Each structure stands twice: as C-alpha cells, then as structure tokens.
Chain A
Amino acid sequence: MLSFIGKRLLVAIPTLLVIITLAFALLHAAPGGPFDSDKVLVPEIRAAIEARYHLDEPVPMQYLRYLGGVVRGDFGPSFQYQDSSVNDLIAQGLPIDLAIGLLAMGLALLIGVPLGVVAALRRNTVWDRAASAIALLGISVPTYVTAPLLVLLFAVSLRWLPAGDWGEGALRNLVLPVVALSLPYVAYIARLLRASLLDVLHTPWVRTARAKGMPWRTVLLRHALRPALLPLVAFLGPATVGVITGSIAIETVFGLPGIGRFFVDGAFNRDYTVVMGVTILYGVLIVLANLLADVVQALLDPRMRP
C-alpha cells in the first residue's frame, strides 16, 4: 500500500507540471498585463515596476524563474496586493475555505447518507418520494439562489443568525454558509447512495446472506452498505475539493475572506502569481483527494488492492 501511495505521488509531479505550464501559457497568452490600466504610466516608472517583478524578461525566462520558486515552495509576490506574497494570501484564506468546505461536506454526509439509505429501503413509498424531491430541489436550485434566501429567512426576517462576516470563525457565523454550501451535496450523496444501494440489494450475494439466515441489520450493514459506499467514495474525493474551492458564490454572499475572492480579483487584474498560486493549490488538493479516495476504496474493496 505504501509503495502504491509513493508511486501515485510520483505520477502527480508530471500532472502538476502540466497544470502549471498550461496555466502559465494561458495567462500570458491573454491580452493585457498586471500594470495595464486606464491611466498611462510614465514609461520610466512602468519599466522600473516591470523590472522589479521580472516582467521585462522573455516569457520562457519568467516561466523558469517561476518554476524555480514553486519548487522551493515560493509562489512569488502578489502584483495587486502590495507587500503581500501569494503564500501570505493563501495562508490567510485557505483555513476559512477549509473550515467551511469540510464542515459542509460533513453535514452533507450526515444528512445525505441516511436520506439515501431510507429512500433505497423504502423504495417507491412516500419516504422515497420525499427524499427524491429534496434531492431534486438541492441539485436544481443553485447556491447563489439558496444562500440569499437563507439569509433573507434566518438573518433578515427571523434575526436568528448573522447575515454574513467571518466573525473570527464563530459558530453562529458559520451556520448559514455551511448549510447553503452543503445543500447540493446532500442531494448528490442521497441520490448516488440510493442508486448504488438498490443495485447491491439485488445482487446474488445479498440473497446468499439472507439464505444464510443473517439478521436484516447485518445484511444491510455488512453485506450491502459497504459495497454501496464505493461509488460514493469515488465521488467524495473530487467533491470535497469542489466544496473547498467552489465556494466563491458563498464567499461573496456572506462576505467571507476566503481564497475564491483573491482568485477572481486576480483573474480580472492579471495578477499572474495569485492566479497561478491558487491554480496550483487546487491542483494539489485534487491530486491528494483522488489519492485518498483510491486508498479508501482499496481498503473497502480487496479486488482494488494493488
């Protein structure tokens, strides 16, 4: 298992190199630069700024210089936020995204898994229909609609919870963003688990387990649920990264100082290093999450063991 993980990490290096190269090429191919603006800079000042950030060098030189920095773990200075390095911005924003994202995924599992199991076991009953209706709602209504609606109800009308702001991570401030972020994932998880559990419940081995006289609870937990979780685990790897990175709408609605904001501002302002740094961070997260999903799958399914 350890050598399997080692190999996968080695394979991740070329993957990340491709991501870095593509992102670098795309950014530099886009028209405009970080210091283009409506007011024309004095040529000498402009030259001085570009020299400071090595923008006067040929692009391949810049690429190699940047790559050298990345290898040392230095993502360079931000062009837009003076006096802040990209490392600083990530260190500031990532904990917020991690906290909200992981809490949202935990909540989604906590609600989605039982919902999916009930829907599968009570197939074609009121319970199943109710669970499916909740799931459909969660999938089809986007976050930027549910988030303001939640704010309107719980913050503006009922005044139970704050409408936004990070508030040093106080639980009261986390509730609404976490709930809003988790809703679509509750739906995905419930639907995925319902389908895979129904599949497993019709397998010959479940029939064998029942013919052996296993109590229904044992059949469900040991013979059915474990295999039914496999597709869910495969989904959870990338989905967890999605929930951490994909919270830009949430950050905006609730005014949270996460990374998404830097990323979007960076893209508008050609803040090369910020966009590159966040892209690489997301790439690393996806590689790690997929690796983790594969390891968990191998633990669940002996046939997948390397």
Chain B
Amino acid sequence: MSAVLALQVDGLSVTHAAADGARTVVSDVSFSLPRGRILGIAGESGCGKTQLLLALLGLSPAGAQVGGSALLSGQQLVGADRRVLRRLRGNRIAMVFQDPMTALIPYLTIGTQLAEVLQVHRGLSKSQALLHSQQMLEAVGIDAPARRLRQHPHELSGGMRQRVLLAMALLCEPDVLLADEPTTALDVTVQAQILDLLLDLRERLGMAVVLVTHDMGVLAQVADDVAVMHAGVLVEQGPVQQLFDAPQSTATQSLLAAARQLSPTAQGLV
C-alpha cells in the first residue's frame, strides 16, 4: 500500500442555498481510500450520496457551500482553483453517472465524446485519441468498437452506453473512479457484467473506486469497505463482512433487511 492515500476526506460538508434558508445535504463526512480498494457508499435515495460525489468533483450546484477537506493523492480539492479542478476532473478523478440513457449527449458520435477527453487532458490529436478510445471500448467489452465510434448514443443499448460511460471515465486512467449507481438502470445480467468489469479494471489499473448505490447486494459482491449514509451523515463504516455480520446503526439494519426481502441472492451472499 502506497504512503499517500488515493482519496482522503475529512469533515466534508455541503450546504445548499434554499428558499427557506440553508440546507445541509452532506454533513461532516470522513473516510480514507487507499489505492486499489473499492469503497461502497450505501444509503436510501436522497441521503446525499450523489451530492458527496459532486462535491469531490467540484461540481456542487451554484451557491452551494463546501467545507472540510478532500485530498486526491495529496492534492486538496475543496476550495481549489476552478482551472486546477477542471484539469483534475476526468483525468485524475473521474465519474460514471447513474443514467446511461441521458448522460451521453445525443448529438455527437461516441468517438467524438470519448476522444475529446484525451484531446483536452492529454493533448492528443483527434486521430490518436480515437485510436486510444477504440482500445478502451474494447477493454470494457464492447464488440465492433471501430463501428461504435462512428455511432450515436441512441444506436446503442443501455448496457453498451453504460460501458461507454465507464470507458470514458477510464480513458486517462484516473487515481479515483467515482461510480454513482452505475448498474441501477441496467437489467440483472448486464449489471453482473459491469460489476465484474469494475473488479477486473481495478485489478489491472490499481485505481481506487467509490461505488455509490442503494443496493446492498451489489456492495456484497464488489466492495472492500462499506460506509452507510443517512441524511447526509456517514452513520457507520467498516470492512464489508463486518458491517454485514454485525450492523450497528438502524440505517444499516433497515438497508440490509430491505435487501434480504427483495433479493434472496443478497441473503445468500451475506
């Protein structure tokens, strides 16, 4: 394990300006993530998971107050210069968004959308960037990648678009990958493929992953550590097995109970 953590978050808070005063959506969140580890963040919808990830990218909504500290391989993200943050985004810290149907722009080809990442961060020419993008599409298990580059998002299935988003996030081989419900919109078989892919890439690239989901079954499959979020606060965190065996907080217990009710496989895994 390297001396510097991939991601170290200390007392991170996000407060949104609302009509009826300020609203704290992420409150005093702390965790550390070594290279090559997968941290699962679980919690019900609206508990602040996505806002936490957006704050790490420096993409909190206009007027939001972000406090605390977040170090990406030792570099402070909170309050960093906008230009510095922009150069880190998609490069050293990348995000895979929740809904593959809307996260890609419908008007540009897959190739253009992938290549521009390398053109901006690596200064590659368009043709070099396309070549590299094609290799990345192949790496995430997309067949006929050369043809996909010339296609538009509406010509691809949901599972394929999710793979494209994953490939897009991986192009610059980031230190930290933030994945926001990357499998929620997909059917079960595709979900399993994407998760396998995530594990495989973590292995090969040694990147750290923050995997946000409300699905405890998914976490049981892939996470090393799990943190449970409730109303903007991390109520419990620890190694996955420990947390599943002896959940301390009521939030964890109710998430586990819900998972057991919905999916017998999750119970088997636990």
Contacts and interface: CB of A to CB of B under 8 A. Distances in A.
A211 interface: yes
Interface of A is mostly: helix
Nearest to A204: B102
B95 A301 contact: no
A207 B50 CA distance: 13
A293 B42 CA distance: 48
Contact of A213 (B90, B102, B106, B107): B90
Contacts of B88: 213
A227 B153 CA distance: 15
B121 A213 contact: yes
The number of chain A residues touching the other chain, given as a range, is 20 to 34
A209 B95 CA distance: 11
A195 interface: no
B69 interface: no
B117 A222 contact: no
Contacts of A209: 105
Contacts of B97: 204, 207-208, 211
B90 to A, nearest CB: 4
A172 interface: no
A212 B59 contact: no
Contacts of B116: 212, 214, 218, 222
A47 to B, nearest CB: 66
A205 B105 contact: yes
B126 interface: no
Contacts of A216: 86
B23 interface: no
A233 to B, nearest CB: 13
Nearest to A216: B86
Contacts of A222: 108, 116
A73 interface: no
Output the residue of B87, B116, B165, B168 with the most chain A CB within 10 A.
Answer: B116
A206 B103 CA distance: 8
Contact of A208 (B87, B103, B120): B103
B105 A213 contact: no
A281 interface: no
Interface in A211-232: 211-216, 218, 222-223, 226-227
A208 B104 CA distance: 7
Contact of B95 (A211, A214, A223, A302): A211
A215 B120 contact: yes
20 contacts: A203-B102, A205-B106, A210-B59, A210-B89, A211-B57, A211-B89, A211-B90, A211-B94, A212-B89, A212-B117, A213-B86, A213-B90, A214-B120, A215-B86, A216-B86, A222-B108, A300-B107, A302-B107, A303-B106, A303-B152
Given A204-B99, A209-B105, A211-B57, 17 more contacts: A203-B102, A204-B103, A207-B59, A208-B103, A208-B104, A208-B105, A208-B168, A211-B89, A212-B120, A213-B89, A213-B121, A214-B90, A216-B86, A223-B108, A226-B107, A302-B106, A303-B152
Interface of B: 57, 59, 86-91, 94-95, 97, 99, 102-108, 116-117, 120-121, 152, 154, 165, 168
